[in-house]
Amino acid sequence: MRMKIGLDLDGVVANSLPHVIKVLDLSFPQKFAQGDHFDLARYYGVPREEIGRIITKRAEEVFGEAEMVEGAAEGIAWMEKNGHSLIYVTARKTGREEDVTRGWLERHGLDPRRLFCVSGGPKAEVALAENVELFVDDFLSNAGQIAAVGVPVLLLDAFYNQTEKELPLVTRCRDWDDIRRAVAALAEDKE
C-alpha cells in the first residue's frame, strides 16, 4: 500500500550538523565536542535566540552547503518509485532559511513544493494536517510528539537521540537501509 510519508530534513535527508557546528565554533571561543547532549545554546553558553540568529544569518553556509545524509537519495528515490507520497517537514524558519532550503531541495532533485517549515514549532501539527501515515525524524522529542498524535515514527539513529526508554509507535533505524526495510514492512502490513 502506498503511504504519505513525512521526512525531517536535518539529520535525516540533509547532513547539516557539521555545517552548524562549524559556523557556531567560528562564532564562539568554545569548540563543540560530541557528547551525550545536544543543547547547543547550553553548550555554547548563549541564549537559543542567539544560536538561531547566527544560523539564519549564515543560512547559505549552514543549510545550502549540506550534503545529503548517506543513503537518503537512494531511499527517497525508492520511496517515490514505490508510489509513496513524500513531504519534507523541518524546524527551519520561514523566510531566509526556507528560501535556502527550497534551493537545496531543487539542487538535489527533490520537490521544493512539498516543503513545510515549522520555525521550531511542532511537526506533529503538520503531520496531522497533511494526513501523514509515517514520519522519519532523528530528534527524540519530535518523534515522541509525532507518535503521541498517532503517527508512527522511524527514528534515525544519532549520537544525540540515544535513550533506554522505548516510545510507543517509535521504531529506531540505524540507517537508510533500515528505513527502507521498515517502510516496505509497514506498507505491506497496510495492504
Q: List, for residues 58-83, the tens digit of each pLDDT value.
A: 999 999 999 999 999 999 999 999 99
Domain-wise residue ranges, the chain: 4-15+67-190, 17-64
- Residue 39, pLDDT score: 84
- Residue 16, pLDDT score: 96
Average pLDDT, the chain: 94
For cell 503531520, what's the residue?
Answer: 127
Contacts made by residues 111-114, CB under 8 angstroms, sequence distance 24+: 111/86, 114/86, 114/87, 114/88
Contact predicate 39/167, CB 8 Å: no
- Residue 188, pLDDT score: 86
Q: List, for residues 121-170, the tens digit of each pLDDT value.
A: 999 999 999 999 999 999 999 999 999 999 999 999 998 898 878 899 99
User: Which fold does the domain 4-15+67-190 belong to in CATH?
Assistant: Rossmann fold (3.40.50)
Full-model pTM: 0.94
- Residue 108, pLDDT score: 97
Range from 1-5, 104-108, 127-131, 175-179 carrying the lowest mean pLDDT: 1-5
